[in-house]
Structure 1
Amino acid sequence: MIVSASLHSCFAENQDDSTFTVAMKFKMAPSNSGRIYDVIKSCSYTMTSREATGAPDLKIWKIILHTPEEKTVEKETLQRMGYGIQSSPKRLFMRIPYNMPETNIQRVEDVDMVVFKSVVLLRDRWMMSVVDSIAACPISGASLVGDKIFWKVPLHITPLSSKVEILELHMGVNGRRLTPGEIENRNYTMSLTESHVVFVIPIGAPDGFYKSHSLQGQYHVSYSIEPLFELLWQDELHKTRYRVSFPITTPLTPAPPQIIDNTEPKEKTFDVSLGFFLPDVELLNITIGTELFTVPELAVRDIGLLERVQSNATKVFVLQIPFSEPNVRVQKDRPDVTSYSLPLVFGFIIFPELESFSYSTLLEASVTDPVLPNAGGSCGLDSFNVFVKYGSAPRSALKVKLSQTELNEEDSPHFEHHSNGTHLNIVVPFLSPLVALEAVQLTGVVGRVNLEIYDSLHDWRFKDFTLSCIFFAQLTECFSNGTAVVLLPKLESVQHLPFSELSLRDPACKPLYSQGNMAYFRFDVNTCGTTRKFVEDTITYENEVTWEGEPVSDGASNLYPGPQYRFLVSCVYVANATQSLRFQTLSNKKPQTDIAKGELSVSLKLSQDMVYRLFYHDGDFPVLKVLKQPLFFEVSMDQSTDSTISVVLKNCWATLTKDKESEPRWDLIIDGCPNPEKPDQTVFHPVMEDERVDIPDHFKRFEVKTSTFAKDHGRLDNDAASINKRVFFHCDVIFCHAEDATDGHCKNLCKNPQRRKQRSLNRGRRSSKNPLHHLSIGPILLI
């Protein structure tokens, strides 16, 4: 705060016209401690102006005012008019307010100046003295250009003197003269033209101050500063010092408040800062929604309000309102997004004028509600179909485990998975090692997959999902030739069952094949301790797969029977049945030959045994076979009695899909011979005439060892169709004339591997004389 007091005011103590003392008392507002400050200031000042010489007892008699007409008044009358006039032994001092009727305005070098002229008559009993006085003060000359204030003052004050010599020129501010260094440090400039002194002051200079205003309910500011111009000149007789203090205030400038939104939606609180305000602004109230709250009432409502003073003396109001505030509007834009909005009106007041203004804003925030991942599934014919909905969790942190196996981008031989932006679909074959087999029931095998969803970044567990399904699986198969086959999968209830130690009733009858999750038995029903019994017209053969663990000790020399495992095997055959047969006799006519064109029919079959007695039909597929268990195939002509025709296998191969051209492809037979790269994989079996076979040349039999597929797991794993290890078999067959010496196909010999290898490169090229007949069978499910 700056207080300026004239040396000639009524409150200044004058000591011999050279020392002046002013005493003041300041009392602070109650809100600012209410303290009282006593201030005394003394200044020494030497005036350089015309002096009147006379006796000490001269008194002011009359004053003649030039209005411009002459007007004579008494001292008391002049004081009642608002003028100030006093004298001392050396000085005569007059104070003339602006806009008095006795003043007039003159234009001096494009600057308006208020001019006052008077004659003061002083006298005593015997003598009289006359003092002519004149004053001229500028009332214009200031302008605003950009962010600078320009103030020009006439260099020659013609109402006071017409021809003078400039002795000194000074610039000051707030009544105090500045040194050249101070002028430079403040970025002020003072320059001379032929007719003016020009002062340049940047807006915001520290010697001035900003002030708040309210204009049409909006916040505005102005800047004020009071520069000082001091001039010393000399005319023909005297020196004159001319001083002007010229208050300048810039026009009102809009200063709309700035709102800074620091809201963190996850904190569920609006956090905003509103600024920047001058110190003379106070927050009076806030309208939240439809309710008006004074500042003290906000704390009761659990609303935070802070006032922070910045380094430039401006202040900012910080407001914190929880989303739970009743006036906050809540809206669901999407199922996973909640929007919060709150209209606010801030009410302010400016001191000391008590002007008011307001500022309105709308706070908005959106929160993404966490949608937890979810899982579900269904049972397919021979697989588990599981889906995972990602929810709103970050995909990078979301992990899925399937029976303790973590899913990744790579393919797996044990399941198939596909992902899009929202879902993950998983297909797990029921014989996958990831499936826990719980029990064997009359309706099928009960299997279960376990799914776990968790966040690896925060170690959060979202969902544990279990899907149980019943799948039809023929664990026991009885053949008409008296052979029984048993496949025992690993059950969760007996996880530590040693499959290699299982046996039938005869301990010597061990599994034909076993691994960690299954055992495969094949035996004749009249061996391995199998019993039989007759029930009406059927014969039932029974055996059981057993295992007994070591006795268990309780630690006190007491032994208890160890764990036991039993699985009943039963085969039922019809012992006595009556079949109806109807036949009709025809007379034996003389054979006749009809000449016509037709097509020979050929088929590819999968035998249930190695003796080619029983075969799988189309309705039996997919057929379940144990990996490394050989497969027995037969190709035969249908309904042909021509013994001169022979069936020739040109090429046979396996694929993972029905498409015979698909990849990968395993060549089994090439140009009628086993694949030269794996000659032991395929074995031809001779065909002898029996009750099924009338013409052996109409049949071809071969065995495929599936161990090659076990060795080629890598190839299987890299193809999506291998998920269930389904395999399709294909053969190209031709017919040849067995008695035609020119037809080399009937006399194909497999002795030159290099020749076969070369022929394999051209296996797709066949002559029109022996067209190819394509056969396919499958799928065969290998476990």
Structure 2
Amino acid sequence: MAIVFYLSLLFYLVVYATTKYAIIPHGVSMTCHQRYFMISVNQHLVGKNISFEAVDGNGSYSITEEYANKCGYSLRTIHFKNRVQLRASYFSCHTDEVDKMYTFSFNLVAHDKEDKVTHALNRTCAPSLPWSLREVTCEVNYMEVSVRSEIACPTATRRNDWDNLKLAHGNSSADWQVTFQNGGEQFPPTSINEALGEGYVFDLTSDRLVFRTPYGQPHSFTSVIDGVPVEVVHATLFSRQSWLVLLVDLVAACSVYKATFEDEGYMSWETPDVMYPGLHTTHLSFGLDGNLMQPAVAKTKGYVIEKYNNTVEIGIPYDAAGSDRKSVVSGGLYESYSYDFYMEQLSVDEDGIETRLRTHRTMRTPLLMRTLLDENRTVLQEKHFTIYLGDIPQDVELISLTLNEQIFQVPFTNISAFSLVKVVHPNDTHGYSLKVPFYNSPVIQQFSTDNIEFKLYINYTLMVTPENNPFQHKAFFMATIPDLDPPQFDASCSESLISFKLAHKPSNSKWEFTVGSDPLTPELASSHGFAMSNNSQALQFDVPLLSDGYDNKNFSLQGFEGTFEIYVRDRETSQIQSSTVKSCPFLIDELLVCSTDMKMVALVNLTLAVVSGEVPANMTLRDRKCGPRQSDDTKALFTFPMNGCGSTVKLGKGTVTYENEVLYSEKFVSEDADRVFLQCTYPVMSLHRLFSVKGFESDTPGVGRIIHTSESAAGLPSTKAPVSQPQPHPRPHSSSRYIKFSEFKTQQLKLGGLGGVRALRNKKRLT
């Protein structure tokens, strides 16, 4: 009867405190799991180029890919997390076992340019889960079987047991040898040393026999079990000592099913429910990143578990917790997910012999298109775009954006009208909230009769890190609001006029523009001396200084402040809806303003009077009580009513002219002194209450003239002040007959005639 080694008695170990033999560098973590030990290293903190060495009493051994496959190590790089992981079997080559405690010693070697830094890493682990009689580990790069070194008799003898027994009797050596089986074929026996040379490892610990082999060995074969490909290595270890033959049957079988990505968004992986004949599964658990879950719990997390034809199929949600994600630029933004899948199957045979199968698999999805979230969160009443770009992965950053072909770097600098706020979410994504006012240069405005359309084309430039690969994301947004607001003119000042400009848009047809109560037409502009142009692009309206419609105030020796206003009126209701008001400071040397309320404001240049020795502050009007309101060394400012300060009045043909004179003090009066006359002329038809002593009114401002007799005599222009309409500048002479205003009422019939008086009275009644 064949004798087979099985796992020893069941025992229980309490959790043993982990002992640290060296200071762990910052960025390095070491974890004891039930069946393996793991080191995780942050490459950013330790170094981009790192490697590991296994250490024992005889020295250190570089863990290359080939050495890892042979000695029970697996290496994994997680690009998204910038981490490198080393997973070591408790039966790996250089692990020291004493009383069921396993001590690991490694060197972490960090290469930084020409520098090389070595960190010693030591940890002792004591698994709390007892070892099953047989344990099989299907790692990503090797298969490992361990059995307890206790002799037990099976309930039945299998045919290949007799074949192995015959093979053992045919060999006279007492040394341990191994033979491999491939399906029904039996390979000739070979020594343990020869097997080691072929990459196989046989090891005997305190109470377990271990067999480890990389995938794809010459003696391995693929078997299809219930439609699932399984790689199998069947080794029989034997030794004949006199009349006793010792046989150990070691079989490593692992599912090599290649995980597939399903359209439903799952990574699908399959394994036989029963990997070894004669067994039945009693327990199944699985998860990611070393964490095991019961199937019922996994379903609540979105996993799919199905069993058909003795095959177990597990569907992993593509974005399951514990997955590792990486962004990729390939003509656009894509992403790939990888999974460190971990599964445990517990099976027993008819004798209650327990087999524990643990599987590690690294799965990766193909490149999946990543769609970013564009949301228009604009509230029209706020009159600005609020745009949200979201669902941006953690390894992607926004570096710039283009708004209607204007490029802006991120973060914004010196752009007070815009705002860009980064929003971080707990699911490892973030977004950006962008605000751009409607009435801003990058925003395109298009007008219809009733609405304004605001258009914003955005081209985001983002970058995947740490590779720094850029890509573009484009979006378009439009907001439409009723064009209910009256238009506003753009107004500007110049030396001698105020300019108004209004860009044309379809909705302008709803509005009428007026100066006072008169519509702004070419005829009005011509009659008032305005300059007006109207083309397909804009309306241009220039108002010369002191034209009709000005509101002048703040008169001083330097000049005055002129204000002009254009009203916007609804065509249907004729109601004024808004206006554009522009005030400008005008610097002027001389000025005479004849207001509608019959007041005269005169800024007079008295340079010649200063030459003759007079001081402007001492000069008066005809009424010596009326002096200047302000004066300096050369100028004087007078403000007085038309019917005061000694003014005289003359009725002409359709006009009334009021005159006063700036007089020297008596000691400076001479025949050749410069005489300065102030005249305001009004059309008769524009006057009201002409014969009221206390008050005068006019529909229009009068035309003012400042007349210097010395300049007139020299042939120089006699009127310096600007006037609203071109007028002749008469000089006083003996034929001009002016009378004092106090005499005007008694002589009105002689001067104006009954017809003129009746016209004035009739006009007053009409108004």
TM exceeding 0.5? no
Q: Identify the TM-score tier after normalising by the shorter chain.
A: 0.3 to 0.5
Q: Between Structure 1 and Structure 2, which shows a larger proportion of helix residues?
A: 2
Max Rg structure: 1
> Using CA pairs below 8 Å that are at least 6 residues apart, which structure has the higher relative contact order?
2
TM-score (norm 2): 0.44
